[in-house]
Structure 1
Amino acid sequence: MHEPYLTAPPDAPSQDDAVWIERSWDEPECFGAVFDAHYAEIHRYASRRLGPYAADDVAAETFALAFRRRRRFDLGHRSARPWLYGIATNIVSRHRRDEVRLLRAVDRLNPLAEPPRGHEDEVAAKVSAQHVKGTLARAVAALPAAQRDVLLLVALAGLSYDEVAQALDVPFGTVSSRLNRARGKLRKALGEKNPLLDEEEA
């Protein structure tokens, strides 16, 4: 049996997420428009952080929680994207050990070795293919959780500083501070170079 948020209204026109969320208070099926607009992106983010095997559960739980909490959404925001990323990040936080273990597995992965066969190695290979390799993976794994969240919301989700602040419910300055500290640690670990996250310095 499907949850009511899984099906968008037929022929739903494009509107702000806030419109659909407010409508969903009385017409739960309207939340399907938010689901359709953002599910693939949230699933991709979860997969990049925890691997494809966990992504289905994280994405499903994200939208289940968002649906149950939809009356708490600030209707002053047009997009639900940062809000959804915040929920997803909180869910990912329950899997910190899995994320660190995944990153360390990537660090150990030898690109010249035989193709990976185990579950962990398969996940590691997928992350490696997404350019999170070796020393960088080790450095990201070593970051404090709060700094890693900010870093990956910017690097993987492509959120702006303002959107990260909204997602994590922290001040803009906190986002900037955490990101600067994280980048500094990565630059140090990578010999003062960070090919993934410092495009502005390229």
Structure 2
Amino acid sequence: MTTDAEIIRLSLARPQEFAALFDRHATALGHYARRLVSADAGDDVLSETFLVAFRRRADFEFSRESALPWLFGIATRLAHRQRAAEARRWRTLQASARVAVDVAISDIDSAVERADAAARLKHLAPRIRRMSEADRDTLALYAWGDLTTEQIAESLGVPVGTVWSRINRIRRVLRLELPAEPEEGNDGFAEVRA
């Protein structure tokens, strides 16, 4: 089986070979991008990711077999730009139309709901919003990118130890304090009676 590095190396002389990289990784990157931004914007991020990768293919680190972490890194940076551009558009719209703050909040809430339909997300969203951008990127790559810690480190251009630190910090921040369920046959008052 041909590695991603071999495909990229071949594409330097025969650009059409780069299409194999798209065929191999577009689905995973598309899912990731659509989770970071809206569905339409996610498709734009996906397309632009491969366009940027194609233009920079000569800069790829050929010692790495997989291009997936490299592509996830590009997609993450492009999603940041997309969100920043969307935020600028919202600010402009709010200023010109004097849109109520409630509209922006409901838009954020709908974006969060699109990001993950799990019931716990409503409890986690405020904690995620308070995280640093670096922690949110790490969380997204870990949860949605399905990357190893080494691949996350490569995507973000940080040491693996930094990724482990961020993941531990994220776990502490997101840990839900759920009430302990009483054991079977225990009505929950055993400690009080003792």
Fold conserved (TM > 0.5)? yes
* 1:76 pairs with one of 63, 71, 75: 63
Q: Percent of counterpart pairs with the same letter?
A: 38
Indicate the structure with greater helix content: 2
Q: Which residue of 1 aligns with 2:139?
A: 151
Q: What is the alpha-carbon distance in structure 1 between the residues aligned to residue 138 and residue 3 of structure 2?
A: 25
Unpaired segments of 5 or more residues in structure 1? 1-13, 109-120, 194-202
Contact 2:153 2:163 in 1 (8 A): yes
Q: 1:24/1:131 Cα in 2 relative to 1: closer, same or farther (>3 Å)?
A: farther
Say which structure, 1 or 2, has more relative contact order (CA 8 Å, 6+ apart).
Answer: 2
Unpaired segments of 5 or more residues in structure 2? 91-104, 180-194
Instruction: Indicate the SS of the match to 2:13.
Output: coil
Q: 1:70/1:192 Cα in 2 relative to 1: closer, same or farther (>3 Å)?
A: farther
Q: 1:128/1:163 Cα in 2 relative to 1: closer, same or farther (>3 Å)?
A: closer
**1:154-201 superposed Cα distances (whole Å, 9 cap, x missing partner):** 1111111101011111111111111111221111xx3279xxxxxxxx
So what's the TM-score if we normalise by structure 1?
0.72
Structure with max Cα Rg: 2
Q: Which residue of 1 aligns with 2:174?
A: 186
Q: What is the alpha-carbon distance in structure 1 between the residues aligned to residue 167 and residue 67 of structure 2?
A: 23
User: How far off is 1:19 after superposition?
Assistant: 0.6
So what's the TM-score if we normalise by structure 2?
0.75
Contact 1:107 1:133 in 2 (8 A): no
Contact 1:151 1:182 in 2 (8 A): yes
Amino acid at match of 1:64: L
**1:108-131 superposed Cα distances (whole Å, 9 cap, x missing partner):** 5xxxxxxxxxxxx4x554334356
